[in-house]
Amino acid sequence: MLASIICKDISMRPIVVGYDAQSLTGKFQTGLGVYAKNLARILEKHPVSIDLRLLWPQGRKPFNRTLERLVWEQYRLVFEANREEVELIHVPCFSVPIFTRIPKVVTAHDLIVLRHPHLMPPGSRWYFSRWIPYTYKSADHIIAVSNTTKNELVNILGITPDKITVIHHGSNPAFTRTTDPHEINRIRFKYHCPTDFFLMVGNFEPRKNVALAIDAFAAIADLSKQLKLVLVGKHNNYAWEMQKVVKDLRLEEQVLFPGYVPDKELSTLYSVATGFLFPSSAEGFGLPLVEAMATGCPVIASDMKVFHEIGGDALSYVDVNDVDQISGRMLKFLEDKDFSAGYSRIGLARSLDYDWEKAAEKTVKVYQRVLKNRN
């Protein structure tokens, strides 16, 4: 258990960790915030090992501008850490504070912007592609969420492999297979998907290839007017663009945009979906894959190295440059239930590899190693 992994070279009191809580602000967390929230949730359950101090920005509100984030990370965060007398700072997302001698651990999720700079507006592009990688070099240790991310840190940024530890995400316990018929009927009615439907979950942004999924669905939409594509995610400008695409295709009744869906209800949607689509062209981990596998939802995913690392043979891989292949695989899931059920069974077993308790244990070992090296 986490409470038992206390390094002999550190006193038997808990390690006081200052945890950057900026990604926990706001009403909902997605992506990076889900990681930060779940890791903090486990660490707070083990006060014998860790005295976790959440360091909050003023007002606990999300940042609207890059400059606000920079001021927080480089100055206010350090001030709060000193005020709390922490022994170590963990930045679960974003950039590392440079102007402090307090030991620092940072979690690196991906280097997508370095490979695809066009995905960000100019101000954010500089922050994500220049500033964050620059600050990584001042960290005492880096946690990478996948071997794919670690390899990029080494090969692109030139960071020594010994400075990086790979720790995969866990599976949120909220995501389990729903079998209650009353709950299933309620969710099917609420989200207007009484029969077969395909599901996508995540932020609306170009690299997720939402337009590709819509085109693939359009190729099979005439099979039944009851067949649906459900696109779950917080509405933004790109989501409105996708709604225009759907309108032009005259698929407004079949392609649904429910917005944010609470975890419990999302778990049921996963559980009853015909298949989960994840045709992304760039990811550092792919947490929705784990959520889908944990609920027994069969997955159609892009043929990327990181997805093979996370999903192994539990995913049905497709070429994201081939719309016909994606629509063909969707048709296969619809017509051959034994085929899709095989992926469901393998995915359920594979999801057991992802556990937040184990991730927290490995994270605490990183803290201990950093403090030991500083002493």
My answer on whether 164 and 21 are in the same domain is yes
Is the pLDDT at 277 greater than 90, yes or no? yes
Give residue 233's region: left, alpha or beta (phi > 0; psi -120 to 50): left
In a domain, 175, yes or no: no
Task: Give me the CATH number covering residue 340.
Answer: 3.40.50.2000
My answer on whether 315 and 255 are in the same domain is yes
In this prediction, residues 303-313 reach a mean pLDDT of 96
8 Å CB contact between 29 and 36: yes
My answer on whether 324 and 191 are in the same domain is yes
Residue % of the chain over a pLDDT of 70 = 95
Return all residues near 141 (Cβ < 8 A) that are at least 6 apart: 105, 106, 163, 164, 165, 366, 369, 370
In a domain, 19, yes or no: yes
- For residue 362, what are its two tokens? 């490995």
My answer on whether 366 and 343 are in the same domain is no
Is the pLDDT at 298 greater than 80, yes or no? yes
pLDDT in tens, 329-366: 999 999 999 999 999 999 999 999 999 999 999 999 99
Q: Number of folded domains in the chain?
A: 2
Which pLDDT belongs to residue 129?
Answer: 87
What Cα–Cα distance (Å) separates residue 372 from each residue in 9, 15, 70, 375? 7, 12, 29, 5
My answer on whether 150 and 206 are in the same domain is no
Q: 27: domain range?
A: 2-170+355-374
My answer on whether 24 and 127 are in the same domain is yes
In a domain, 10, yes or no: yes
Which pLDDT belongs to residue 375?
Answer: 77
In a domain, 210, yes or no: yes
8 Å CB contact between 307 and 301: yes
Q: Tell me, what DSSP letter sits at residue 163?
A: G
My answer on whether 230 and 333 are in the same domain is yes
Which pLDDT belongs to residue 244?
Answer: 96
My answer on whether 114 and 243 are in the same domain is no
Which pLDDT belongs to residue 208?
Answer: 93
My answer on whether 162 and 53 are in the same domain is yes
pLDDT in tens, 186-233: 999 999 999 999 999 988 988 899 999 999 999 999 999 999 999 999
pLDDT higher for 9 or 284? 284
Is the pLDDT at 3 greater than 70, yes or no? no
In a domain, 104, yes or no: yes
Which pLDDT belongs to residue 8?
Answer: 43
In this prediction, residues 224-248 reach a mean pLDDT of 95
My answer on whether 154 and 200 are in the same domain is no
In a domain, 165, yes or no: yes
In a domain, 176, yes or no: no
Is the pLDDT at 4 greater than 70, yes or no? no
Is the pLDDT at 163 greater than 50, yes or no? yes
Is the pLDDT at 7 greater than 60, yes or no? no
Confidence of residue 9 (pLDDT cuts 50, 70, 90): very low
Instruction: Tell me which of 61-70, 89-98, 258-267, 319-328 is least confident.
Output: 61-70
Is the pLDDT at 310 greater than 70, yes or no? yes
My answer on whether 253 and 322 are in the same domain is yes
Return all residues near 25 (Cβ < 8 A) that are at least 6 apart: 56, 57, 60, 61, 62
Q: What is the mean pLDDT of the chain?
A: 93
In a domain, 195, yes or no: yes
pLDDT in tens, 84-134: 999 999 999 999 999 999 999 999 999 888 877 776 777 788 898 889 999
What Cα–Cα distance (Å) separates residue 20 from each residue in 33, 39, 62, 209, 311? 11, 12, 13, 31, 30
In this prediction, residues 9-27 reach a mean pLDDT of 84
My answer on whether 362 and 317 are in the same domain is no
Which pLDDT belongs to residue 332?
Answer: 97
b/e map of 316-355 (b: 16 or more CB within 10 Å)?
Answer: bbbebeebebbbebbeebbeeeeebeebbebbbebbeebb
Is the pLDDT at 10 greater than 50, yes or no? no
Which pLDDT belongs to residue 346?
Answer: 97
